[in-house]
Chains A and B, each alone.
Chain A
Amino acid sequence: QKEVEQDPGPLSVPEGAIVSLNCTYSNSAFQYFMWYRQYSRKGPELLMYTYSSGNKEDGRFTAQVDKSSKYISLFIRDSQPSDSATYLCAMNGPGGGADGLTFGKGTHLIIQP
């Protein structure tokens, strides 16, 4: 069983829609959860991170963690064509993060103008 599962997509939605991106994980030791955005042929860019369960909002982005279900989500409100990218979830590793993050494979998001 893979540690982090993420639907690769592509997920195609019209401009202005609310987007929901999700990851599930198996390791209950994960405590910090991150979302990265990666444009084609670029390095990933950290969008936001959350600790344990709960919500965190930053502008049009909301990250949600449900540790009891081992499920995390990223919501994008009022989606724009510039949001078209691959979104990677990441979690701190079994060593607490010192030995690197565990990444999902990414969801390719397309926002149609």
Chain B
Amino acid sequence: DIQMTQSPSSLSASVGDRVTITCRTSQNIRRYLNWYQQKPGKAPNLLISGASSLQSGVPSRFSGSGSGTDFTLTISSLQPEDFATYYCQQSYSTPMYTFGQGTKLEIK
């Protein structure tokens, strides 16, 4: 099974900061890496698929990059509504759609 390692597990930042979250996989997954945002009490929301394809309606301050085993999610200028938990997920080695353990982004 592919192991997913997200870092950091939690992060404190201020509105306007640039933030980067990293996801590392134990095997080459090419670009089959997706990012989700989950706010408290809500279902996850797909932000980015295929490592860098922004979903419709997602603000352009979100971006994704990487391939192989190392991936990043970047928020260029944090907004109050961005404070949430972020998960990476691989869809290369199916049927096990493995998720990272999550990164909780909190207000400093």
Partners in one complex: no
Residues of B within 8 A of A (CB): none
Report which A residues bind B (CB closer than 8 A): none
